[in-house]
Amino acid sequence: MPGLRDGLIGTLVTRATPEACAGISFLATKVPAEERVWMQWRRHEAIKNALRRAWTAKTRTSEEILAMARDFRAVTIDTMDDLLDAVLACQARRS
């Protein structure tokens, strides 16, 4: 049974939909206390996967790429570091 449980939880983590994350949260409340940290860790992994998918799911069209090439302020944001750099650059321009 542990193998089946781990496989099902792994599937939810990989699926990484809001429903899967909510399911893992619900299951974390039902497991014995000594397994709750493990379940919360798996939920954290699912959330990271969902965020990663949200960041990388959008492909850029040729029109978007050309518009970015024309605007020197345009940046692509693919990582959290890219986002931080963009926010800091925006704040610097406003100062």
| H-helix or E-strand spanning residue 76 | none
Q: What is the pLDDT of residues 58-92, one digit of tens each?
A: 777 888 888 888 988 787 777 788 889 888 988 88
Determine the pLDDT at residue 45.
Answer: 92
Q: What is the pLDDT of residue 18?
A: 87
Residue in 78, 77, 73, 76 with CA at minimum distance from that of residue 89: 73
Cα(68)–Cα(75) distance, integer angstroms? 7
DSSP state of 57: S
- pLDDT for residue 82: 84
1 pLDDT higher than 80:
no
Q: How far is CA 59 from the centre of its chain?
A: 16
pLDDT digits (tens, 9 = 90+) for 2-53: 677 778 888 889 988 888 888 888 988 888 888 889 888 998 999 999 888 8
Global pTM value: 0.54
